Amino acid sequence: MDAIVTAGGIPLPEDPLYPYTEGHSKAMLDIAGKPMIQWVLEALSASKKVDNVIIIGMSEKSGVVCSKPTYFLSSEGRMLANIVAGVKKAVELNPQTERVLVVSSDIPALTTEMVDWLVEEIEKEPADLYYGIIPREAMEKRFPDSRRTWTHLKGMDVCGADINAAHVRMAIEHLEMWEALIGNRKSPLRQAAIIGFGTLFLAALRQLTLDDLVKRVCERIGIHGKALIWPWAEAGMDVDKPHQLEIMRADLAIPDTIPSLMEEG
């Protein structure tokens, strides 16, 4: 399975991370002596389940490396357009490709074990879209000060993972809806207008289980989706705010006795 790594984000002056990036790529933020994206690439490098890595929004001049065959594509400007470009490249590399991983460059605590677990879970049941979720208990046990945003369901609070998977046909179907959902990902109310206010109302009352929510959203969109409950918090510990950046810098600042791929290169 190929992995599409999204790395096109450049924080604007109003973004909390702008003082750290100063107009440069968020993916290149230093974390324990490496660009943030490099941690992700090293997790993918050692995976037995990943064939090719497609990096969107960076060039070879960035200096990041991966032991897998690696392809760099320019940013298309929007997240969905970047993902679509990555899917097209994966199909170009192998016309028989059915599913791809979509990996954010800002989850530096991701490990190879986690990548392989995800692919193995995907292989168990065919679906159009696989969306990872992390229970609040798992996140707060691993990162008690993460301050994530929670979706409240019946019997559990969850946040989303930043490594997911999709069938390649998702890059040509329902594009208007995906654009709207992604564009409004920070606004539950606007997303609810897309997936249905009834669903939002029931979720607000904590009357929806995870299975209920998946069923309702998939029926609304017209796809077969599957929610995967992650046993690790790292897949959802993305760096969006300064305190999360500092958490990851402290967490990964353990002396590494194994030379990194960048040192080898």
Show me where the domains of the chain are located. 2-130+160-167+233-256
Distance of CA 11 to the CA centre of its chain: 17
Residues 6 or more apart whose Cβ sits within 8 Å of residue 75 = 8, 56, 57, 82
Span 45-74, average pLDDT: 96
Among 180, 161, 178, 181, which residue's Cα sits nearest to residue 170?
178
Query: Phi/psi zone of residue 48: left (φ > 0), alpha (ψ -120 to 50 degrees), beta?
Result: alpha
Q: Residue 59 pLDDT more than 50? A: yes
Higher pLDDT, 92 or 187: 92
Lowest mean pLDDT among 14-18, 22-26, 135-139, 257-261: 257-261
Lowest mean pLDDT among 30-39, 197-206, 238-247: 197-206
CATH 3.30.2420.10 fits 2-130+160-167+233-256, yes or no: no
Lowest mean pLDDT among 129-133, 244-248, 259-263: 259-263
Task: Tell me the three state secondary structure of residue 254.
Answer: coil
Bridge partners of 103, per DSSP, are: 5, 163
Span 70-81, average pLDDT: 89
Task: Tell me the three state secondary structure of residue 229.
Answer: strand
Kindly report the average pLDDT of the chain as a whole number: 85
Q: How far is CA 115 from CA 52, 146, 244, in A?
A: 13, 22, 22
pLDDT for res 165 = 92
Bridge partners of 104, per DSSP, are: 6
Confidence of residue 211 (pLDDT cuts 50, 70, 90): confident
